[in-house]
Chains A and B, each alone.
Chain A
Amino acid sequence: MINFDFKTTYQQLISGDIDFRRNAIGNLYIAFEKSLKRNLQFKYPFIDSEIRNKFIDEKNKKAIKESISSSPFIEEVIQIAFFKILEKNLSPKSEYAIWGWLMEIVNKTASEEVSRHWRKFEVGEDTPSDSISKLQKKFEESSEELKRLQKIQTPSDEIKSQINRLKVVMVGIIKLIQKVPDVPKSSPSAYIMNCLNEATIIFCQQYPTEAAIITEHKIRKESKDTKPNDKSLNQIAATFQMSLSNTKKIVATYGQLLKDSLSPCLD
C-alpha cells in the first residue's frame, strides 16, 4: 500500500480523458476498498447482508439471500461511491488529499444509501416490524449522545451510568437487527467475552476511522510476526495520508480509550 502512486492517480483523475479516469478509479478501488469497507462496517454495525435476511419474510428469504450473498450491502455502497466519481466528474483537490476525499465521498454515499435502505424496509408491504425507523432513530440519537458524554473530561457518577445505559441501548439495537457473535453467559469468562465484544463494537462505531487505524496497527498481517514499530506506523500514515506524528497520536490516544472501554468488563 505504501507504494501506491498517489501522484499519477491524481494526474489521471484531473485529466479530462475518461480512460485515464477509469484506470485511476479502478486502482483506487483495489487499493482502498478494504480500508473503506472496514470503516463503514465500524460506522454502521447494524448494516450488512445479515440485516436483510433478518427482516425478509420466509417465503422470499432464500431467493434474496442467494442474490445478495455475493454482494453484501456495504460492498455495493462502496462501488456506488466509486461510480459517482466517474459519473459526476469528481476529482480531489491535491494528491495529498486523496484519502480524505475518498472518505468524504464514501461516507456521504453511505449516509444516503443507508437512509434509502431503511426506507425500503419501512415502505415494503411485507415489513415484518413497524419499529425499524424508531430503532434507527433511537440508535442514531444514542450514538450522538454517547459521543457528547464521552467528551466530558471528568464525568460524574450520574453521567457514567447514563453512558452505560446508552451503550446498553445501542448494543441491544445492534443485537436485535444483526446476529452478533454471542457467547452463552453460563460462565464468568463467557460473560466477560460478551462484554468485551459489545464494548469493541461500540468503540468502533463511535470512532470508525481511528478504530481502523488501530486495527491496521495492531492486528494486520504484518504485525503478527513482528512487534509494531515506526516502520508499520509509517506505512499506515502513508495509507491514510496522515503525518507520522498524527498517526502515532491516534494510535496512542484512541488505543488507550479502547483499553479504558474494555477494562470495566474485566473488573
Chain B
Amino acid sequence: MDKKNKENIMKEALQRYVRYLSLSNTEDSLLHKSFKEKLNHIEPEQSLTNKIKSKINMTASIVGSSLFITGFLIARLTLPVASGIKGVEDKPYIENLSTKIIEISSEKEFEAIITHAVTEEISFEFESNHNVKQLYILGLHKNSNFEFKKILELSQAYEGPLTIIVNN
C-alpha cells in the first residue's frame, strides 16, 4: 500500500472516532452558559497558610484573654482593696513631723492631760514602764484643740505629734 493511501486510511479512522466521540457533545453555548453560571457561585477557599494564621490568631486571643482574666482575678484576690498608705486621707504630714517631747513631774497633771485628751477625743497611745509613763499623741493640727494646747503651754500654731513623759 502506498504512502498516500495509508495517510488517507489514518485520516478516515481518526475522523470516524472523533465523529463518534462528538455525539455526546453538549451544545457549546449551553455548556459555556452553565459553566459561567456555576463559576459565579464558586468562592475561593482560604489557603492553608491563611487558615493556620487565623487559627494562631484565634488561639492567641483566647489564651491572652484567659491569662489576663486569671491575672486580674489573682491580683484582685491577693492585693488588699484599700491601699492603706498611711495618712493619704488624714493629712499624713502631721504624723511624719518630728515629735515634741514634754516632760512633767506631777502625776496629777499627767492624769489631767489624759482626761483632756479623752474629752477632746484626741487620738493617743499610752505606755507605762516601771516608773516612766508615756503618752504619745499621734498628731495635733494647727489652730485646733485650743484648750489642750493651752494646758500644755503650746502655741496654737503648733502641729505634729507630741510625747508627754511623766517622771515620778
Contacts and interface: CB of A to CB of B under 8 A. Distances in A.
Interface of A: 18, 21-22, 25-26, 29-30, 33, 37-38, 41, 48-50, 70-72, 74-75, 79, 82-83, 86-89, 180-181, 196-197, 199-201, 204, 211, 214-215, 218-219, 255, 258-259, 262-263, 266
A266 B14 contact: no
B44 A201 contact: no
Contacts of A41: 21
A262 B44 contact: no
Given A49-B24, A75-B26, A87-B42, A219 B14 contact: yes
Given A22-B39, A83-B38, A89-B47, A181 B10 contact: no
22 contacts: A26-B39, A29-B35, A30-B32, A33-B31, A33-B32, A33-B35, A38-B21, A41-B21, A49-B24, A82-B35, A83-B38, A83-B39, A83-B42, A86-B44, A88-B44, A181-B16, A196-B9, A196-B13, A201-B17, A214-B14, A255-B10, A258-B13
A127 B97 CA distance: 103
Given A71-B26, A79-B38, A82-B39, A215 B14 contact: yes
Given A29-B35, A79-B38, A89-B47, A219 B9 contact: no
Contact of A262 (B13, B21, B39, B45): B13
Secondary structure at the B interface, as helix, strand, loop or mixed, is helix
B51 to A, nearest CB: 12
B39 A86 contact: yes
Interface in B40-87: 40, 42-45, 47
Name the residue among B6, B10, B12, B40 with the largest chain A CB count within 10 angstroms.
B10
Given A18-B44, A29-B39, A200-B17, 11 more contacts: A18-B43, A26-B35, A26-B36, A71-B34, A75-B26, A83-B39, A180-B20, A215-B14, A258-B13, A262-B6, A262-B9
A231 to B, nearest CB: 19
Contacts of A218: 10-11, 14
Q: Categorize the interface residue count of chain B.
A: 20 to 34
Contacts of A33: 31-32, 35
Interface of B: 1, 6-7, 9-18, 20-21, 24-26, 30-32, 34-36, 38-40, 42-45, 47
Name the residue among A41, A82, A201 with the largest chain B CB count within 10 angstroms.
A41
Contacts of A72: 24, 26
Nearest to A41: B21
B105 to A, nearest CB: 98
B32 A29 contact: yes
B160 to A, nearest CB: 76
Contact of A197 (B13, B25, B43): B13
